[in-house]
C-alpha cells in the first residue's frame, strides 16, 4: 500500500517528519529518494529537531554517515557517492544500533536495505510544492503510516 502526502512548504515537510518522530521506535529505518533539492535533508532536519538534536543538520555527502545524540540516536546517511558499493562502509550495522536511521538516496543501496522499512519518494511539483509517496514494508511501518497520515 502507498500513501501520498502533499507538502506545500518546507514547514509541511518538517511537520510530517516531526509526526513520524512522535511514533518513533528503536531501529526505525526511513529511506529517502528524490532529486536534488526535493526535501530529503529538510525531512531529516524535522526528525532531528523532534528528537531534541540542536546541532545543524546537513547532508553527509562526503562523510556518508553522521551520528547525532537525541532521545534516540539519529544516524543520517547520504549514500549517493557510493554508487551502490557499500563494502567496508558498515552501513548494515546501523540498522540494529537502536536508533533512527535516515538514508538519503537509498535506492542506490536497495540490495542491503532491511526488508522492513519505510520508503519515501519526494517528487518536485514546483518551487515549494512536493508530493511524498510513502511505501511501508512491514506491519510496524504500516501502523506508523496509519498513525501519522
Residue 63 has pLDDT above 90, yes or no: no
Rounded-to-integer distance, Cα 117 and Cα 71, Å: 20
Give, in order, the Cα–Cα distances in Å from 123 to each of 12, 24, 87, 102: 14, 24, 30, 18
As a whole number, the mean pLDDT across the chain is 94
**pLDDT over threshold 90, residue 87:** no
pLDDT band at 37 (very low <50, low <70, confident <90, very high): very high
Q: Rounded CA gap, 105 and 143, in Å?
A: 24
CATH of domain 3-148: 3.40.50.300
CA distance 53 to 74: 9
Write out pLDDT tens, residues 95-132. Answer: 999 999 999 999 999 999 999 999 999 999 999 999 99
**pLDDT mean over 21-40:** 94
Amino acid at each position: 500500500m502507498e500513501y501520498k502526502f502533499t507538502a506545500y512548504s518546507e514547514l509541511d515537510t518538517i511537520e510530517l517528519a516531526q509526526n513520524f518522530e512522535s511514533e518513533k521506535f528503536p531501529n526505525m529505518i526511513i529511506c529517502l529518494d528524490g532529486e536534488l533539492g526535493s526535501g530529503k535533508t529538510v525531512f531529516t532536519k524535522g526528525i532531528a529537531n523532534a528528537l531534541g538534536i540542536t546541532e545543524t543538520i546537513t547532508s553527509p555527502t562526503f562523510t556518508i554517515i553522521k551520528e547525532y545524540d537525541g532521545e534516540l540516536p539519529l544516524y543520517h546517511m547520504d549514500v549517493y557517492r557510493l554508487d551502490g558499493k557499500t563494502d567496508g562502509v558498515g552501513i548494515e550495522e546501523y540498522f540494529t544500533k537502536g536508533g533512527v536511521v535516515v538514508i538519503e538516496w537509498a535506492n542506490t543501496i536497495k540490495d542491503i536495505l532491511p526488508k522492513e522499512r519505510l520508503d519515501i519518494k519526494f517528487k518536485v511539483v514546483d518551487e515549494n510544492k512536493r508530493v511524498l509517496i510513502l511505501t511501508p514494508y512491514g506491519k510496524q511501518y504500516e501502523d506508523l503510516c496509519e498513525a501519522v497520515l
